[in-house]
Amino acid sequence: MRNSIEFELYGPYALFTDPLTKMGGEKMTYNVPTYQALKGIVESIYWKPTLLMVVDEIRIMNAIKMESKGIRPIEYGGGNTLANYTYLRDVRYQVKAHFIFNPHRPDMAFDRNENKHHNIMRRSLNVGGRRDIFLGARECQGYVEPCEFGSGEGFYDGYGEIHLGTMVHGINYPDETGRSEMEVRLWSPVMKDGVIKFRRPDECTQVRKLADMEPKAFDHSNVESSDELLKQLEDGR
Protein backbone atom coordinates (compact mmCIF):
# COMPACT_ATOMS: atom_id res chain seq x y z
CA MET A 1 0.00 0.00 0.00
CA ARG A 2 1.18 3.51 -0.77
CA ASN A 3 2.96 5.42 2.04
CA SER A 4 2.74 2.39 4.33
CA ILE A 5 4.93 0.96 7.07
CA GLU A 6 4.98 -2.49 8.66
CA PHE A 7 6.45 -2.99 12.09
CA GLU A 8 6.67 -5.30 15.07
CA LEU A 9 5.43 -3.93 18.39
CA TYR A 10 6.35 -5.65 21.64
CA GLY A 11 6.88 -5.22 25.35
CA PRO A 12 6.65 -7.03 28.70
CA TYR A 13 3.30 -5.49 29.68
CA ALA A 14 0.41 -3.61 28.07
CA LEU A 15 -2.75 -1.94 29.40
CA PHE A 16 -5.35 -1.06 26.75
CA THR A 17 -7.91 0.04 29.29
CA ASP A 18 -11.54 -0.96 28.98
CA PRO A 19 -13.26 2.32 30.03
CA LEU A 20 -16.05 0.42 31.79
CA THR A 21 -13.55 -0.74 34.43
CA LYS A 22 -12.28 2.75 35.30
CA MET A 23 -15.34 3.83 37.27
CA GLY A 24 -14.06 2.36 40.55
CA GLY A 25 -10.47 3.52 40.08
CA GLU A 26 -9.25 0.13 38.90
CA LYS A 27 -8.29 -0.80 35.34
CA MET A 28 -8.82 -3.90 33.22
CA THR A 29 -7.20 -4.25 29.83
CA TYR A 30 -8.90 -5.22 26.59
CA ASN A 31 -7.66 -8.49 25.08
CA VAL A 32 -6.14 -6.65 22.11
CA PRO A 33 -5.04 -3.08 21.34
CA THR A 34 -7.61 -0.55 20.20
CA TYR A 35 -7.30 1.27 16.90
CA GLN A 36 -6.70 4.51 18.79
CA ALA A 37 -3.85 3.02 20.83
CA LEU A 38 -2.13 1.79 17.67
CA LYS A 39 -2.71 5.12 15.93
CA GLY A 40 -1.01 6.84 18.87
CA ILE A 41 1.94 4.46 18.56
CA VAL A 42 2.24 5.19 14.83
CA GLU A 43 2.17 8.90 15.65
CA SER A 44 4.94 8.32 18.21
CA ILE A 45 7.02 6.92 15.37
CA TYR A 46 6.33 10.01 13.22
CA TRP A 47 3.66 12.71 13.32
CA LYS A 48 2.84 15.90 11.48
CA PRO A 49 -0.49 17.80 11.44
CA THR A 50 -0.32 17.49 7.64
CA LEU A 51 -0.93 13.74 7.92
CA LEU A 52 -3.66 11.37 9.03
CA MET A 53 -2.35 8.01 10.21
CA VAL A 54 -4.51 5.03 9.26
CA VAL A 55 -4.04 1.63 10.93
CA ASP A 56 -4.91 -1.18 8.53
CA GLU A 57 -4.27 -4.48 10.33
CA ILE A 58 -2.79 -6.04 13.42
CA ARG A 59 -1.54 -9.61 13.84
CA ILE A 60 -1.46 -11.05 17.37
CA MET A 61 1.79 -13.02 17.58
CA ASN A 62 1.81 -14.25 21.21
CA ALA A 63 -0.90 -15.94 23.25
CA ILE A 64 -3.17 -13.49 25.08
CA LYS A 65 -2.14 -13.67 28.76
CA MET A 66 -3.09 -11.41 31.65
CA GLU A 67 -1.60 -10.56 35.03
CA SER A 68 -3.07 -8.52 37.89
CA LYS A 69 -0.93 -6.21 40.00
CA GLY A 70 -1.55 -4.20 43.13
CA ILE A 71 -0.95 -0.54 42.23
CA ARG A 72 -0.85 2.54 44.45
CA PRO A 73 -2.23 5.38 42.29
CA ILE A 74 -0.81 8.84 42.92
CA GLU A 75 -3.25 10.83 45.04
CA TYR A 76 -2.23 14.46 45.08
CA GLY A 77 -4.66 15.21 47.88
CA GLY A 78 -3.18 12.55 50.14
CA GLY A 79 -4.32 9.02 50.80
CA ASN A 80 -2.91 5.55 50.40
CA THR A 81 -5.26 3.74 48.03
CA LEU A 82 -4.45 0.30 46.66
CA ALA A 83 -5.97 -0.63 43.29
CA ASN A 84 -5.78 -3.74 41.13
CA TYR A 85 -4.75 -3.23 37.50
CA THR A 86 -4.97 -6.15 35.07
CA TYR A 87 -2.32 -6.04 32.35
CA LEU A 88 -1.58 -8.02 29.22
CA ARG A 89 1.74 -9.83 29.63
CA ASP A 90 4.48 -10.57 27.09
CA VAL A 91 2.80 -8.94 24.10
CA ARG A 92 4.03 -9.01 20.52
CA TYR A 93 2.18 -7.71 17.49
CA GLN A 94 2.73 -7.04 13.82
CA VAL A 95 1.11 -3.82 12.59
CA LYS A 96 0.45 -2.44 9.12
CA ALA A 97 -0.38 1.26 8.74
CA HIS A 98 -0.19 4.07 6.20
CA PHE A 99 -0.74 7.81 6.03
CA ILE A 100 -2.88 10.09 3.90
CA PHE A 101 -2.92 13.87 3.73
CA ASN A 102 -5.43 15.37 6.15
CA PRO A 103 -8.26 16.76 3.99
CA HIS A 104 -9.49 18.86 6.93
CA ARG A 105 -6.20 20.78 7.20
CA PRO A 106 -6.02 22.95 4.05
CA ASP A 107 -3.79 25.27 6.09
CA MET A 108 -1.08 22.58 5.87
CA ALA A 109 -1.32 22.10 2.10
CA PHE A 110 2.14 23.63 1.64
CA ASP A 111 3.65 20.62 3.47
CA ARG A 112 2.08 17.88 1.32
CA ASN A 113 5.20 16.12 0.09
CA GLU A 114 4.53 12.39 0.39
CA ASN A 115 8.02 11.21 -0.57
CA LYS A 116 9.58 13.40 2.12
CA HIS A 117 7.17 12.26 4.83
CA HIS A 118 7.36 8.57 3.90
CA ASN A 119 11.16 8.59 3.90
CA ILE A 120 11.29 10.35 7.28
CA MET A 121 8.70 7.95 8.66
CA ARG A 122 10.72 4.90 7.61
CA ARG A 123 13.93 6.34 9.04
CA SER A 124 12.12 7.12 12.30
CA LEU A 125 10.84 3.53 12.47
CA ASN A 126 14.35 2.17 11.91
CA VAL A 127 15.57 3.95 15.06
CA GLY A 128 12.60 2.94 17.23
CA GLY A 129 10.41 6.01 16.77
CA ARG A 130 10.76 9.71 17.48
CA ARG A 131 9.01 9.54 20.85
CA ASP A 132 8.73 6.92 23.55
CA ILE A 133 6.43 4.03 22.72
CA PHE A 134 3.80 3.16 25.33
CA LEU A 135 1.55 0.11 25.18
CA GLY A 136 -1.65 1.78 26.29
CA ALA A 137 -0.32 3.25 29.56
CA ARG A 138 2.71 5.28 30.66
CA GLU A 139 4.10 2.47 32.79
CA CYS A 140 4.04 -0.01 29.87
CA GLN A 141 7.14 0.66 27.80
CA GLY A 142 7.00 -0.69 24.26
CA TYR A 143 9.40 -1.09 21.35
CA VAL A 144 9.02 -1.01 17.58
CA GLU A 145 11.15 -2.28 14.73
CA PRO A 146 10.53 -2.88 11.01
CA CYS A 147 9.17 -6.25 9.90
CA GLU A 148 7.31 -7.92 7.06
CA PHE A 149 3.64 -8.22 8.00
CA GLY A 150 2.61 -11.89 8.01
CA SER A 151 6.12 -13.26 8.42
CA GLY A 152 7.01 -15.74 11.15
CA GLU A 153 4.79 -18.03 13.19
CA GLY A 154 1.97 -16.62 15.29
CA PHE A 155 0.16 -18.33 18.17
CA TYR A 156 -3.27 -17.93 16.53
CA ASP A 157 -2.33 -19.10 13.03
CA GLY A 158 -5.13 -21.39 11.81
CA TYR A 159 -7.12 -20.70 15.00
CA GLY A 160 -10.27 -19.52 13.23
CA GLU A 161 -12.52 -16.63 14.27
CA ILE A 162 -12.68 -15.08 17.74
CA HIS A 163 -15.39 -12.47 18.35
CA LEU A 164 -14.10 -9.85 20.78
CA GLY A 165 -17.37 -8.08 21.61
CA THR A 166 -18.01 -4.35 21.67
CA MET A 167 -14.86 -2.27 22.04
CA VAL A 168 -13.82 1.34 21.74
CA HIS A 169 -12.46 1.85 18.23
CA GLY A 170 -11.09 5.34 18.82
CA ILE A 171 -11.66 9.07 19.26
CA ASN A 172 -12.70 11.57 16.59
CA TYR A 173 -11.01 14.95 16.96
CA PRO A 174 -12.09 18.13 15.11
CA ASP A 175 -8.98 18.41 12.95
CA GLU A 176 -9.60 14.85 11.70
CA THR A 177 -13.33 15.14 10.94
CA GLY A 178 -14.03 18.82 10.24
CA ARG A 179 -16.67 18.81 13.00
CA SER A 180 -16.30 21.02 16.09
CA GLU A 181 -16.74 18.22 18.58
CA MET A 182 -14.95 15.25 20.09
CA GLU A 183 -16.59 11.87 19.53
CA VAL A 184 -15.99 8.25 20.51
CA ARG A 185 -16.31 5.38 18.03
CA LEU A 186 -17.42 1.84 18.97
CA TRP A 187 -17.21 -1.40 17.01
CA SER A 188 -17.22 -5.21 17.39
CA PRO A 189 -13.97 -6.63 15.99
CA VAL A 190 -13.42 -10.21 14.86
CA MET A 191 -9.95 -11.76 15.01
CA LYS A 192 -9.41 -14.34 12.26
CA ASP A 193 -6.32 -16.54 12.52
CA GLY A 194 -4.75 -13.90 14.75
CA VAL A 195 -5.40 -10.98 12.36
CA ILE A 196 -7.77 -8.06 12.94
CA LYS A 197 -8.59 -5.88 9.94
CA PHE A 198 -9.59 -2.43 11.17
CA ARG A 199 -12.40 -0.32 9.81
CA ARG A 200 -11.38 3.16 8.84
CA PRO A 201 -12.70 5.76 11.31
CA ASP A 202 -15.10 7.19 8.70
CA GLU A 203 -16.57 3.68 8.23
CA CYS A 204 -17.60 3.32 11.89
CA THR A 205 -21.36 3.71 12.35
CA GLN A 206 -21.53 3.68 16.17
CA VAL A 207 -20.39 7.20 17.05
CA ARG A 208 -21.19 9.12 20.24
CA LYS A 209 -20.51 12.80 20.93
CA LEU A 210 -18.37 13.51 24.01
CA ALA A 211 -17.83 17.28 24.02
CA ASP A 212 -17.58 20.42 21.91
CA MET A 213 -14.05 21.13 20.70
CA GLU A 214 -12.33 23.39 18.19
CA PRO A 215 -9.31 22.35 16.10
CA LYS A 216 -5.93 23.95 16.71
CA ALA A 217 -4.93 26.33 13.96
CA PHE A 218 -1.61 25.90 12.14
CA ASP A 219 -0.31 28.57 9.79
CA HIS A 220 2.90 30.43 8.95
CA SER A 221 2.74 32.20 12.32
CA ASN A 222 3.49 28.98 14.23
CA VAL A 223 4.84 26.58 11.57
CA GLU A 224 8.04 26.79 9.55
CA SER A 225 8.79 24.62 6.55
CA SER A 226 12.00 22.59 6.40
CA ASP A 227 13.11 24.69 3.40
CA GLU A 228 12.78 27.90 5.43
CA LEU A 229 14.70 26.40 8.35
CA LEU A 230 17.46 25.23 6.02
CA LYS A 231 17.71 28.69 4.48
CA GLN A 232 18.04 30.23 7.96
CA LEU A 233 20.89 27.84 8.76
CA GLU A 234 22.65 28.66 5.51
CA ASP A 235 22.30 32.39 6.19
CA GLY A 236 23.79 31.90 9.65
CA ARG A 237 20.76 33.11 11.52
What is the tens place of the pLDDT at every residue in 130-141?
A: 999 999 999 999
Determine, yes or no, domain membership for 232.
no
Determine, yes or no, domain membership for 155.
yes
Structural domains of the chain, count: 1
138: CATH: 3.30.70.2660
Summarize pLDDT for 75-88 with one digit per residue, the tens.
Answer: 777 666 788 899 99
Determine, yes or no, domain membership for 231.
no
Q: What is the pTM of this model?
A: 0.86
Q: Which residues contact 153 (CB under 8 A, 6 or more apart)?
A: none
Determine, yes or no, domain membership for 35.
yes
pLDDT tier, 105 (very low <50, low <70, confident <90, very high otherwise): confident
Q: Which residues contact 137 (CB under 8 A, 6 or more apart)?
A: 14, 15, 17, 27
Determine, yes or no, domain membership for 221.
yes
| Cβ neighbours of 139 (radius 10 Å) | 13
Determine, yes or no, domain membership for 234.
no
Q: How many C-alpha atoms does 233 have within 13 Å on its Cβ side?
A: 7
Determine, yes or no, domain membership for 201.
yes
Assess whether pLDDT exceeds 90 at residue 51: yes
Share of the chain above pLDDT 90, in %: 68
Summarize pLDDT for 115-155 with one digit per residue, the tens.
Answer: 999 999 999 999 999 999 999 999 999 999 999 999 999 99
Determine, yes or no, domain membership for 162.
yes
Instruction: Identify any residues that bridge with 171 across adjacent strands, giving them in sequence order.
Output: 184
Assess whether pLDDT exceeds 80 at residue 180: yes
Assess whether pLDDT exceeds 60 at residue 229: yes
